[in-house]
């Protein structure tokens, strides 16, 4: 079965004519989009409630669910995390995903007013487009002081990793500092204003949960090395190399998010 785009409803109105030609107000429903991973999570939750999978039973592998539902594996991965956040399933490392004995209502969980955040894979894809170009533009015009500030951010990240303080939960995070300083080096205030909102999505429950699941923080040292690769291209004024290095860095993050 293929998951289509669904919508939630909210009250709205339109004007139409009655039989005498007079105008009358008629109720309509405003359309609000729902994230694709939420649609998939809701469909799987409905199957669990209908008895397709019993408490304690293992769900099919993500690749099988992806083929059956007609969506990408990243979308299924995100749906599983949403179900885990809703306490409907339990992810057992190396063993698979199991229906919990006391399952909650996914509908209530998805509509309880808490924004679990954007699709992590959409977020990384957007960062790849925007920050790849940021790196290329910065390489063509970066100053010595800006280059030093970026290097200082990477060194701070390395110190924070060693001391166990590296995290994306606050604005002092050196990883974020690296990306912000790189954007500022473009000299384009619009581009520099785009980076932090992208990172706000990484602070949402969805990204945080999927990061914990694949132990993404454990790969911070690799991220620091990849930051140095971007820095080397900046120092050489190599715009193409800087773009490619940033793409490679974010491609690594995407692969990590799909790690079994």
Angstrom CA distances, 28 to 11, 21, 23, 53, stand at: 6, 20, 15, 37
Query: What value does the mean pLDDT of the chain take?
Result: 83
Domain 120-258 in CATH 3.20.20.140? The answer is no
Name all contacts of 241-250 with Cβ < 8 Å and 24+ positions apart: 241/139, 242/135, 242/136, 242/138, 242/139, 243/132, 243/133, 243/135, 243/136, 243/139, 245/135, 246/128, 246/131, 246/132, 246/134, 246/135, 247/128, 247/132, 249/223, 250/124, 250/127, 250/128, 250/131, 250/132
pTM across the whole model: 0.75
Nearest CA to 246 among 131, 76, 78?
131
Q: What is the mean pLDDT of each run of 10 residues along the chain (260 residues)?
A: 45 44 50 75 88 90 92 92 88 86 58 70 96 98 98 94 70 87 97 92 87 79 95 98 98 89
Nearest CA to 212 among 259, 162, 154?
259
- What is the DSSP secondary structure assignment for residue 4, as one 8-state letter? P
| pLDDT tens track for 195-245 | 999 988 888 888 888 888 777 777 888 999 999 999 999 999 999 999 999
| pLDDT tens track for 185-209 | 999 999 999 999 998 888 888 888 8
Domain ranges of the chain: 36-112, 120-258
In angstroms, rounded to a whole number, what is the distance separating the alpha carbons of residues 90 and 83?
8
- Domain made up of 36-112: CATH architecture: Orthogonal Bundle (1.10)
């Amino acid at each position: 079965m293929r998951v289509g785009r669904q919508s939630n409803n909210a009250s709205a109105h339109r004007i139409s004519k009655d039989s005498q030609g007079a105008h009358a107000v008629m109720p309509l429903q405003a359309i609000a989009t729902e994230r694709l991973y939420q649609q998939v999570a809701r469909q799987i939750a409905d199957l669990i409630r209908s008895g397709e999978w019993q408490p304690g039973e293992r769900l099919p592998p993500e690749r099988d669910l992806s083929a059956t539902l007609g969506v990408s594996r990243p979308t299924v991965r995100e749906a599983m995390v949403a179900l885990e956040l809703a306490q409907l399933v339990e992810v057992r490392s190396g063993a698979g995903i199991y229906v919990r004995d006391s399952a909650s209502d996914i509908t209530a969980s998805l509509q309880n007013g808490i924004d679990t955040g954007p699709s992590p894979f959409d977020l990384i894809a957007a960062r790849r487009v925007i920050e790849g170009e940021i790196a290329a533009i910065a390489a063509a015009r970066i100053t010595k002081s800006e280059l030093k500030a970026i290097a200082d951010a990477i060194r701070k990240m390395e110190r924070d990793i060693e001391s166990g303080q590296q995290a994306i939960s606050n604005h002092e995070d050196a990883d974020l500092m690296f990306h912000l300083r790189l954007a500022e080096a473009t000299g384009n205030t619009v581009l520099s204003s785009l980076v932090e909102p992208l990172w706000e999505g990484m602070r949402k429950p969805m990204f945080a949960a999927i990061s914990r699941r694949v132990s993404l923080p454990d790969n911070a040292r690799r991220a620091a090395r990849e930051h140095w690769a971007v820095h080397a291209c900046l120092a050489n004024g190599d715009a193409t190399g800087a773009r490619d290095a940033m793409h490679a860095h974010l491609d690594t993050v995407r692969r990590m998010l799909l790690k079994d």
